[in-house]
């Protein structure tokens, strides 16, 4: 039987353990991010979505990853500073993780199994791959890196019942 989404945890950027049970009854956008990527500008759109919907039960969870073109080489402290200085992000930022390979964060194994990519591929292909999770913890959709955050509004509003 597949593991329940809310049984997973991750480490916040500051090192605190975050239990995903804290996100019950919320719509989640989970994104693997990088500071030196052609899609890094999407932090701005992610923050706009967060500001628009956070009071309606929406969260953005950012997981920095250095597995694609070494585009996230900094420390967790560097990443937090970059996001704050350049994009004034206020959504939860986690410690740097791996999304593919032997050291894949268990949450990401779950996301990839629940919402495979093109032709059923489970591998994450690049930074800013996005997963949308409904209020019941079901992974409902996977979006490609080039899908801009603002293009997800209709899906987010549908899951929020707006």
Catalytic residue among 27, 37, 152, 159: 37
Q: Is 37 a catalytic residue?
A: yes
Round the CA-based radius of gyration of the chain to a whole number and report it: 14
Contacts of 76 (CB under 8 A, 6+ apart): 13, 15, 64, 95, 96
> How far are the Cα atoms of 48, 85, 118, 154, 162 from residue 105, in angstroms, in the given order?
27, 27, 21, 29, 32
How large is the angle between the packed helices 42-53 and 153-160, nearest 10 degrees?
20
Alpha carbon distance 6, 4 (integer Å): 5
Show which residues are catalytic.
Answer: 37
């Amino acid at each position: 039987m597949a593991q329940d989404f809310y049984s997973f945890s991750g480490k916040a950027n500051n090192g605190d353990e975050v239990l995903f049970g804290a996100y019950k009854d919320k719509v989640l956008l989970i994104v693997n991010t990088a500071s030196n990527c052609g899609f890094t500008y999407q932090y701005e759109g992610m923050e706009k979505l967060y500001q628009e919907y956070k009071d309606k039960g929406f969260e953005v969870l950012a997981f920095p990853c250095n597995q694609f073109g070494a585009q996230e080489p900094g420390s967790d402290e560097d990443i937090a500073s970059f996001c704050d200085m350049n994009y004034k992000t206020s959504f939860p930022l986690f410690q740097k993780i791996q999304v593919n390979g032997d050291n894949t964060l268990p949450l990401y194994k779950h996301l990839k199994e629940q919402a495979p990519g093109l032709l059923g591929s489970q591998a994450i292909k690049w930074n800013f791959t996005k997963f949308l999770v409904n209020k019941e913890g079901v992974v409902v959709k996977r979006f490609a890196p080039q899908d801009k955050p603002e293009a997800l509004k209709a899906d987010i509003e549908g899951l929020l019942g707006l």
